[in-house]
Amino acid sequence: MRMGSRLVTLLAGAALAFSAGPAEARELTFQTPYQGDHVLNARLFEPWFKALERESGGRLRIVFHRTGEIVSARDVLPSLMRGRLDMAGVNAQYQESLFPHSMAFTAPYLTHDSVQASALCQRALTSLPEVAAEWKKAGKALFAWGSDRSGLFSTAGPVLSPADLRGKRVLIWGLSQMDQVRSWGGIPVLIVPGDTFMALERGLGDVFFGPLPTGVAYGLLNLKSVRDVTVLPATTVFLAFVVNSEVWDSLPARDQALMEKSATGKSAEAGRLLYERTNRDMEAMRRAGCAVHVLDSAQFQAFRAANSTLLANWWISKLGKLGVRDAKAFLRLAQKMAEETPGAGTPGTGA
């Protein structure tokens, strides 16, 4: 009887194990902050997700969505925190009040290319408790990166000094750019990114101030009126790959470990890919007949000097209003960290 009972128990256990089968695949949604075949979509996110699915034995399946497919760019963080998105590329500038210390790392002229910006954002995320705490409220931040060089797309001739912008209508995407443009003598005109081509085509602005890759990604090089592009590394954006807190906590420890390990180095990879893509985009603009102006050191410093009051007063006031206790000291810390962080090129060279 004892042998029979043992045999029944073994058979029952085997049947249970068979019915359970392999671990079920976990399907998670991700929305990128970028359009179409952006370099980070094609060469970082999508290949990474395929590798995660393969290395997890099919347990992790991340469904990729381009910006705007599920929610608008400005609604990404609220949707992530509410659980409508499982993970997303989060832009801190859309919810500045939630990221006061992080915003210090987006101050004008702090970085000069995406290699430096990405390394700086990652260092801030991993080494500063104030910054880490802000992103922890959003979810589990696996890595951070920063945007690449900005530029001035002109329909009114070359822009080689702040004087060339005096009285010109300058199209911008972000409120933080308004005082920067005013300090150059320009008239800021706030638009949404999707209207950039139309606004320049219809003459609603003389110059667009924004990311250099916009020339290719938004087709600005196809506008006959845009013949001059000035490389001006004057702004950056703090972004991070964030997983919803509840989703992260629900993942098995081995899947958490796999994602954390595979995310190592992604910040540096993002910075390098963005930098290389911008260089290719500048060549594409040249081939399309645009004059791409790379400022020399003196010209670059003239733009920076025009913004000196902005950096000394307005940005410190902005951080203080956002909730940074000693805004002046924290901005000084951000500047020191930036000086210690190498980039791919040198300020003002665009190279």
For 27-37, what is each residue's pLDDT tens digit?
A: 999 999 988 88
Predicted confidence (pLDDT) per residue in 73-102, tens digit: 889 999 999 999 999 999 998 899 999 999
* Each residue's pLDDT tens digit, 99-116: 999 999 998 888 989 999
Q: Where are the domains of the chain?
A: 25-146+237-267, 150-235+277-339
Answer whether residue 272 shows pLDDT above 60.
yes
Mean pLDDT of 297-313: 85
Average pLDDT over residues 290-312: 88
Third-level CATH fold of 25-146+237-267: D-Maltodextrin-Binding Protein; domain 2 (3.40.190)
pTM for this entry = 0.86
Which tens digits make up the pLDDT trace of 215-225? Answer: 888 889 899 99
pLDDT computed for residue 211 by the predictor: 87
Residue 23: per-residue pLDDT: 55
Q: In this structure, which topology does domain 150-235+277-339 adopt according to CATH?
A: D-Maltodextrin-Binding Protein; domain 2 (3.40.190)
Instruction: Output the 3-class SS for the chain.
Output: CHHHHHHHHHHHHHHHHHHHCCCCCEEEEEECCCCCCCHHHHHHHHHHHHHHHHHCCCCEEEEEECCCCCCCHHHHHHHHHHCCCCEEEEEHHHHHHHCHHHHHHHCCCCCCCHHHHHHHHHHHHHHCHHHHHHHHHHCEEEEEEECCCEEEEECCCCCCCHHHHCCCEEEECCHHHHHHHHHCCCEEEECCHHHHHHHHHCCCCCEEEEECCHHHHCCHHHCCCCCEEEECCCCCCEEEEEECHHHHHHCCHHHHHHHHHHHCCHHHHHHHHHHHHHHHHHHHHHHCCCEEEECCHHHHHHHHHHCHHHHHHHHHHHHHHHCCCCHHHHHHHHHHHHHCCCCCCCCCCCC
pLDDT band at 293 (very low <50, low <70, confident <90, very high): very high
Domains 25-146+237-267 and 150-235+277-339 share a fold: yes
